[in-house]
Amino acid sequence: MEIPFVLLQTILVPAVAAPLVALMGKRIGKYVGWIASAILIYTTSLLLIAGSTIWTTALPISETYTWSAVSFTLEFGFIADNLSLPVALIMNLICTAASIYSIHYMKHRIDELYGEENKSMHGLYHALYLLFPIGLVGVALSSNLIAMYLFIELVLIPSYFLLDFFGYRERHRVATMYFIWNQVAAGLFLIGAILASTATGGSFSINALSTISGQPIAFWVCLLILVGWLIKMAAFGLHVWLPYAHGEHLAHIAAIIATIAGLGSYVIVRLLAVPLAADFQVFGLPIMVLGLITMVYGGLLTLAQDDVKRLYACSTISQTAYSLVGIGSLTAMGLAGGVFYFVSHILGKSILLCIAGVLMMQTGSRDMNKMGGLAKKMPFTAALAILGSMILSAIPPLSGLQAEWVMFVGIFQGGTLQGALQFAIPVIAIFATFLTAAYTFWPVKRIFFGPLSSELEDVKEAPKSMTLPLFILALVSLLFGIYPDVVMHFLSAFF
Check residue 200 and give its pLDDT.
87
Distance CA 94, CA 92 (A): 5
Q: At what angle do helices 399-412 and 379-392 cross, to 10 degrees?
A: 10
Tell whether 415 is covered by a domain.
Answer: yes
* Cα-based distances in Å from 343 to 83, 320, 322, 386, 437: 11, 11, 12, 19, 19
Ramachandran angles phi, psi of 418, nearest 5°: -135, 155
Cα distance between residue 468 and residue 256, in whole Å: 18
Nearest-angstrom CA–CA distance, 489 and 335: 14
Q: For position 415, what pLDDT does the model report?
A: 65
Half-sphere exposure of 21 (CA within 13 A, CB side): 28
pLDDT at 71: 58
Q: For residues 183 and 236, give the distance between their C-alpha atoms in angstroms, rounded to a whole number.
A: 18
Q: Residue 377 CA to chain centroid, in angstroms? A: 30
Give the C-alpha separation, 87 to 172, whole Å. Answer: 32
Q: Answer left, alpha or beta for residue 4, where phi above 0 means left and psi between -120 and 50 means alpha.
A: beta
Q: What is the number of alpha carbons within 13 Å of residue 305 lying toward its C-beta? A: 23
- What residues have CB less than 8 Å from 223, skipping those under 6 apart? 192, 283
- Whether 1 is in a domain gets the answer no
User: Does residue 458 lie in a domain region?
Assistant: yes
Greatest extent of the chain over all pairs of C-alpha atoms, in Å: 73
Please count the CA atoms within 13 angstroms of the CA of 398 that sit on its side-chain side.
Answer: 26
Q: Check: CB of residue 273 under 8 Å from CB of residue 335.
A: yes
Give residue 426's pLDDT: 84
Select from 140, 13, 38, 148 the least CA-distant residue to 89. Answer: 140
Cβ contact 199:276 at 8 Å: no
d(CA 156, CA 149): 11
Q: Which residues, in sequence order, are CB contacts of 392 under 8 Å at separation 6+?
A: 315, 319, 345, 348, 349, 352, 400, 436, 440
What per-residue confidence (pLDDT) applies to 2?
72
Distances (CA, A) of 345 to 161, 259, 329, 401, 453: 26, 9, 19, 11, 32
The strand pairing partners of 75, in sequence order, are 66
Residues of the chain falling short of pLDDT 50? none
φ and ψ at 269, to 5 degrees?
-65, -45
Contact 91, 277 (CB under 8 A): no
- Domain total for the chain? 1
Q: Which residues of 340-356 are buried (b: 16+ CB within 10 A; e: fewer)?
A: bbbbbbbbbbbbbbbbb
Our CA angle for 76, 82, 84, nearest 5°, is: 45
152 closest CA partner among 192, 124, 102: 192
So what's the pLDDT on residue 76? 80
Rounded distance, CA 370 to CA 11, Å? Answer: 44
Residue 15 lies in a domain: yes
> For residue 66, which phi and psi values (nearest 5 degrees)?
-125, 130
Return the bridge partners of 78, or none. Answer: 63, 142
Q: How far apart are the first and last CA of the chain?
A: 31
Residue 3 φ/ψ region, left for φ over 0, alpha for ψ in the -120 to 50 degree band, beta for the rest: beta
Taking the CA atoms of 182, 477, 425 and 444 in sequence, report the sign of the dihedral they define. positive
- Identify the pLDDT of residue 412: 86
Domain of 117, in residue numbers: 6-494
